[in-house]
Amino acid sequence: MATINVYTESTPNPSTMKFLVNKLLINGSVDFPNKEAAQDSPFAQELFKFNFVNGVFFASNFVTITKTEDAEWEDIEALLKDFVKGAVESELAVKVVHHDSEVNFEGTETEVKIQQVLHDYVRPAVEQDGGAIHYKSFNEGIVTVELKGSCSGCPSSTITLKAGIEGLLKRMVPGVTEVVAEAM
């Protein structure tokens, strides 16, 4: 068995930290914004047993953990790193997921183009910060997306959404006038 290494990266959201491992955890992503949502994820259920864990998000080779306001990263980071290492070594299941290696976009020509831009340009950047973005709808020029992981509730997500994602979509997809995030 290869040695599992875990390292952390801060995210733009001060309440979340990204725990990266040298092994693929999941194809795609899955968000557990609370303990109740984690019923079919042994890995997330175990994380929620820590009273300072407030949210868990998995994508490719990392887990983003959101802490409670009263916890300090310097007090819990080493503990969580050790836990993540042990969980990955024991192959604790993240979740049974459908492999989406082939991405299928649906909708009008404009909707497909929006989804393609989000998938090709925005998703990789958002995943770098420990989050995910999902296309919800396009109506009368307004693109609605859902932000997950560290992006959910992040102080800088509004700037990212308006200055980054909205600007990109306006330039690349005729007819887009605004991008909004759906409240979770």
Q: What is the pLDDT of residue 30?
A: 87
Element (H, E) at 123: helix 123-128
Q: What is the pLDDT of residue 28?
A: 78
Report whether 93 contacts 41 (CB < 8 A). Answer: yes
Q: What is the pLDDT of residue 159?
A: 75
Domain boundaries, the chain: 6-90, 109-183
- How far apart are the C-alpha atoms of 65 and 149, rounded to whole Å? 8
- The rounded radius of gyration (Å) of the Cα atoms in the chain is 17
Q: What is the pLDDT of residue 127?
A: 79
Q: What is the pLDDT of residue 1?
A: 56
Strands (E), 22-109: 26-32, 53-60, 62-67
Q: What is the pLDDT of residue 184?
A: 54
Q: What is the pLDDT of residue 162?
A: 79
Q: Per residue of the chain (184 residues), give pLDDT as tens.
A: 578 899 999 999 999 999 999 988 887 788 999 999 998 889 999 999 999 999 999 988 999 999 999 999 999 999 999 999 999 988 888 875 444 455 678 899 999 999 988 887 788 778 777 788 889 999 999 999 988 877 777 777 777 777 788 888 998 899 999 999 886 5
Burial of residue 44 (number of CB atoms within 10 Å: 0-12, 13-18, 19+): buried
For the structural domain made of 6-90, what CATH number should be given? 3.30.1370.70
Q: What is the pLDDT of residue 99?
A: 46
- How far apart are the C-alpha atoms of 41 and 31, rounded to whole Å? 10
Per-residue burial over 125-162, b if 16 or more Cβ lie within 10 Å, else e, is: ebbebbbbbebeebeeeebebbbbbbbbbbeebeebbe
CATH number of this structure's domain 109-183, picked from the four choices 3.30.300.130, 3.40.710.10, 3.40.718.10, 3.10.180.10: 3.30.300.130
pTM of the full predicted structure?
0.61
